[in-house]
Amino acid sequence: MPVNENFVPKIQVFEPHRASLPPLGPYLKEFWTRRVFATELARFSDKAEYLDSRLGKVWLVLNPLLLGLIYYLVVEIIRPGGGLPGLTRLDHLLIGLFTFYFAQNCVTAGAQSITLGGRLILNQAFPRALLPLSCAIQAFQQFLWTIPVYIFVLIGGKLAYPTTEVPGWTWNFLWIPFIVICTGLTGFGLALIFATLNVYFRDTNKLLTYITRIWMYLSPVLWLPSSLRGHMKILLWVNPLGPVLNATSRVWVSGVSLNKSTIVGCIFWALASILMGGYYFISRERDFAIRI
C-alpha cells in the first residue's frame, strides 16, 4: 500500500548498544529538540507540588527564609560573632544556603527522576537525561524565588543597622550568571550520576540524605571560606560546590571580583560533573526500561 500523503520519511535504526555511548550527534539533537518537554515538566511538577498547599507558592519564599533563620540561630548559638558583623554573617549564610540548596535540589530530585518516571520510561523513547534536566530547571526556578528574599534581607538589614557594610552596585555582580550556570551544571551532572545509581541500587536515595547533609557541613555555607587554615583549605577544591560557594560569598556578600583559581575551580567542577555524569548516564540509559 502506498504511504499516506503527509508521510515524512524518518528512518531510525536501532542496533546493539550497551554500556557504551550511542551516536552523540543524534542524541544531543533529540535532547535539544525535546527541551520544551523538560521545561514544561518542571513547570507542571512545580504546580503539582504546591497545588494542595493553602499558601501555595508562598512556600517558595517562606521555605528558604525559615531555613536561613534556623541555620542563623544555630550558627549564632555555636559560634557567636564569628569575626564578622551579624548582618554580613547572615548575608553569607543566606546566599550560601540558597546556592547550596539549588545544587542539592538538582541532585536529590534528579536522583529520583528515573525511578519515579517508570511509566514514561516504559512507554516512550526519548533522551532520558531530560528527566533529571527538568529537575534541575525546577530547582533553578525555585532558586530564583530566593533572590528577592536575599535582597530584601540585605536592604532591610542595612536600614536597621546603617553602620554595617553591604556592597553597593558594582560591575562584579556580572559574575553572578557565571556562578549560577556553574552551580546548575555541577548539580545537573551530579544528578545524572545519582539518578543512574538509583536505578541499580534503590537505597541510593536514603544514602543521599546523609551525603547531602555532610556535604553542606563541608561546604562554605555555615562557615566562611577565609576561616580555613593550612591543609584544610583543600576542602574548597575537592568539594564540587567549594569553588562556586566561595565565588558566591565573594561576589554576593563582598562585591569583589573572582580570582583566577576560583574561576578555574568553578569551570573544572561544572565540566567534570557534566562529562562524568553524562557518560555514566547516557551509556546506561537504554538499560533503565529493564531495571525499573
The CA-atom distances, in angstroms, between 16 and each of 23, 144, 287 are: 12, 43, 12
DSSP 170: -
Nearer to other proteins, 119 or 229 (CB): 119
Residue type for position 291: R
Among 25, 36, 168, 177, binds other proteins (CB under 8 A): 36
Tell me if 51 contacts other proteins by CB under 8 A.
Answer: yes
Which listed residue (147, 181, 257, 286) binds other proteins by CB under 8 A? 286
Please state whether 19 falls in left (phi above 0), alpha (psi between -120 and 50) or beta: left
Q: Which three cell numbers stand for residue 11?
A: 528512518
Q: Does 6 bind other proteins (CB under 8 A)?
A: yes
The three-state secondary structure class of 163 is: coil
x-marked contacts with other proteins along 71-110 as a string, rule CB under 8 A:
----------------------------------------
21 scored as a contact of other proteins (CB under 8 A): no
Binding-residue pattern over the window 186 to 225 for other proteins, x denoting contact by CB under 8 A: -----------x--xxxxx--x------------------
From the CB of 122, what's the least distance to other proteins, in Å?
A: 5
Q: How far is the CB of 9 from other proteins (least distance, A)?
A: 6
Backbone Cα Rg of the chain: 21
Quote the least distance from Cβ 131 to other proteins, whole Å. Answer: 10
CB-based contact 242:219 (threshold 8 Å): yes
Closer residue to other proteins (CB): 120 or 276: 120
User: Taking the complex as a whole, how short is the minimal distance between the CB of residue 11 and other proteins, in angstroms?
Assistant: 5
Binding test (CB under 8 A) with other proteins, winner from 106, 121, 129, 136: 121
Q: Which of 152, 143, 181 is nearest to 273 (CA)?
A: 181
Q: What is the DSSP letter of 258?
A: P
The length of the chain in residues reads 292
For residue 241, give the nearest of 276, 190, 168, 281 by alpha carbon: 190
* Binding residues vs other proteins (CB under 8 A): 1-4, 6-18, 33-34, 36-37, 40-41, 44-45, 47-48, 51-52, 119-126, 197, 200-204, 207, 286-287, 289-290
